Structure 1
Amino acid sequence: MNGLVQATPALAEVVTGDVDSIRIAFDEQSMVILRVAIGAILFGIALDTRVEDFRRAARRPGSIAIGVAAQFLVLPAITFALTLALHVRGSVALGMILVACCPPGNVSNIVTHLARGDVALSVSMTAVSNLLAIVLMPLNFALWGSLHPTGGPMMRAIALNPVDMLIEVGLVIGLPFLAGIALASRFPQVSARASKVVGPAGFLLLGGLIAIALANNLTLFLGYIGIVFLAVLLHDALALGLGYGIARLTRLPGGSARAMTFEVGIRNAGLGLLLVFSYFDGLGGMALVAAWWGIWDIIAALAVAGWWRRWPVRDAARFDAVPHS
């Protein structure tokens, strides 16, 4: 793994230039590891998913519909508006839009449990959202990215084909997710034990890859972190606030509101990072946004969960038992 995730020497040395001109290169070995990590995360989610989760979702169509609308309609739209308000560079804007279009990961289930929220709703929403993301994520990104005044021309210059991204997302999400559900349905006890290893191992692998990438490009990262730090902080706060706000606006119970906060606020930025290197040649602003979001998102979610854990849920409709243990 020598030379893993290295920027070109000139760009690593001169970090005062345009973030849109930076390219962070992933070698072929790194791309394989990244795909394995994302696949393991999705496989781990599926191993902890049962057909009953979809039946449970069908019995709560209103809550699921609210969550889906918030994730796939409202969040990308308000992210687009935030990029315009902040006047960020085109590559940063595309990175923010891409992250907003990503589905949640099972970190949302963990922090919902820590926050004493409705874990049953969280697990059901994670399953439904990842299934829908196979189609909705590429379409959403193609729509909002192409409409952006500075990001759109960059997309057209790269000549991104939404069908290609749809196939990539289908392979990365669809295959491990469907395989995991099939295994969980046929061998529930085996999958229950395996889910405690596969998902965390995927996150550790992804976290290690991001850490190595940042270490190998530390000068570059420190030079441009000021550009993406505020954007990611505001974007993440907006996503978490949207989840909580839309839950309260639609009068969901307190435990469900906590679950909705994390389902909308937590995004699988690792998937976004994979797409940045697969289709955008490691475009600087996009890569930095996805990498930093993957770190900051977990920090912010744990902070919110820790705060909520100190306060009881003030309603009877609370489901704080993990469905599959």
Structure 2
Amino acid sequence: MAATQGQGIDDILLNISPTGQSALGLVLALIMYGVALDLRVADFVAVFRRPAAPLAGLVAQLLVLPAVTWAITMALQPRPSIALGMMVVAACPGGNISNLITHMARGNTALSVSMTGLSSLLAVVTTPLNILFWAGLNPHTAALLRQVSVEPLSFIGSTVLLLGVPMVAGLLTVRYLPRLADRLRRPLQILAFVFLIGFIVAATASNWRYITVFAQSVLPFVVLHNAVAVGLGWGAARVLRLDEADTRALTIEVSMHNSGLGLALILNQFDGLGGAALVAAGWGVWHLVSGWALAAWWKRRDPASAREQGAA
């Protein structure tokens, strides 16, 4: 790919007004508050009853994928903002859409919900730490962090605040105001989704001249990155010899991240760095495509039958 095209991606900065920054903070809070409203104690009890599968998935998702992502960026040397976007997405927890996709794929939906809940809780700490650690190990993204003036302690503190406060508020609402939680859950999730789609559309419209650059310079990395995540989830399940329903849940959960959270973080914490934002937005679209494709394939195969064929 031409260096001028890649550099064009790096040069994109999505300028956001102070009002826009405040709106982004609100969207980020809504995302995490909405996630917390979906969490139930029973989901976590299920994890402790059968810990091998969810723990393997969390290790693959929160530890292995960020490390592999760093290795990919070092080997393939994408432009710095693209590499940073990949690392941000890899550091994000699972997204709630994975629960629906797992259900459609006839996988273990309870396992998917448990993993999403746990990864979302852990993300308050793991997301900023993974971003700073792995981006700091790549000299190109480390330079980019300095360029956009990301101070490690400030970044960790502000991210914990942005993610942790709404998460705690959501958990408290579920615990003490369950009826209010039931009323707010769906509207808030829809509202956060609409806001994020609005930011994606606005960013695309204002940078339409880069759409060809995106297709050539960003999309291949998004597709490869997602394929690696699919392979990690499936591989972790096979190593543990999980049954077919658990394998499907693990594969989908590891490969479907909360890219909306990643996009909001990039816009809010990284000065709207366009290349990174395009990676997060592109992942948000592509993981739906790959997830639906997996679900369509697995939906036609009964988990029990698939397990028997695999054992034969």
Tell me the TM-score normalised to structure 1 length: 0.86
One of 209, 233, 247 as aligned partner of 1:257 = 247
Question: How many angstroms apart in 1 are the aligned matches of 2:28 and 2:148?
Answer: 24
Q: Would you say 1:204 and 2:194 are equivalent positions? A: yes
Distance in 2 (alpha carbons) for counterparts of 1:169 and 1:107: 23
User: Unaligned regions of 5+ residues in structure 2, if any?
Assistant: 308-312
2: CA distance, partners of 1:316 / 1:304 = 14
Give the CA deviation at 1:119. Answer: 1.1
Match of 2:271 among 269, 273, 281: 281
Q: Check conservation: 1:145, 1:152, Cα contact below 8 A.
A: yes
Alpha-carbon offset, residue 17 of structure 1: 4.4
Please point out which of 149, 170, 181 is paired with 1:180. 170
Q: How do residues 222-301 of structure 1 correspond to structure 2 at under 5 angstroms?
A: 222-301=212-291
Per-residue Cα deviation, 1:79-104 (whole angstroms, up to 9, x for no partner) = 11112232211111111111101111
CA deviations on 1:207-230 (whole Å, 9 max, x unpaired) are 222122212221123333310010
Q: Is the 8 A contact 2:106 2:302 kept in 1?
A: yes
Determine if contact 2:222/2:282 at 8 Å carries over to the other structure. Answer: yes
Asked if the contact 1:255–1:315 (Cα under 8 Å) also holds between the matched residues in 2, the reply is: no
Work out whether residues 233 and 255 of structure 2, in 8 Å CA contact, stay in contact via their aligned partners in 1.
yes
1:1-325 aligned within 5 A: 17-314=7-304
Classify the secondary structure of the residue corresponding to 2:139: coil
Shift of 1:126: 1.0
Which range moves more in the overlay, 114-123 or 149-158? Answer: 149-158
1:83 and 1:207, CA in 2 relative to 1: closer, same or farther beyond 3 A?
A: same
Which one has a larger percent helix, Structure 1 or Structure 2?
2
Q: Which residue identity is paired with 2:152?
A: P
Tell me the C-alpha RMSD between the 2 structures. Answer: 2.2
Q: Report the Cα distance in structure 1 between the residues aligned to 2:25 and 2:215, rounded to whole angstroms.
A: 25
**Aligned length, in residue pairs:** 304
Change (3 A) 1:126 1:315: farther
Structure 1: distance between partners of 2:287 and 2:260: 11
Checking the alignment, whether the CA contact within 8 Å between 2:230 and 2:252 is kept in structure 1 is: yes
* Residue 31 (structure 1) shift: 2.7
Compute the displacement of 1:18 (Å). Answer: 4.0
Q: Is the 8 A contact 1:38 1:206 kept in 2?
A: no
Structure 1 residues 209 and 155 mapped into 2: Cα distance closer, same or farther (>3 Å)? closer
SS of the aligned residue for 2:67 comes to helix
Q: Is the 8 A contact 1:119 1:259 kept in 2?
A: yes
- After TM superposition, the score normalised by the length of structure 2 is 0.89
Structure 1: runs of 5 or more not aligned: 1-13, 318-325
* Inter-partner Cα distance in structure 2 for 1:25 and 1:222: 21
Identity %: 41
Cα-to-partner distance string for 1:231-275 (whole Å, 9 max, x where unaligned): 001101111221112111111221111111122111112222222
Counterparts of 1:315 and 1:120 in 2: how far apart (Å)? 20
1:169–1:226: structure 2 CA closer, same or farther, 3 Å change rule?
same
What is the CA–CA distance in structure 1 between the aligned matches of 2:213 and 2:9, rounded to whole Å?
10
Check 1:64–1:315 CA distance in 2 against 1; reply closer, same or farther (3 A cut).
farther
Could you tell me how far 1:19 is from its partner in structure 2? 2.7
For 1:32 and 1:315, the matched residues in 2 are separated by: 52
SS in 1 for 2:95: coil
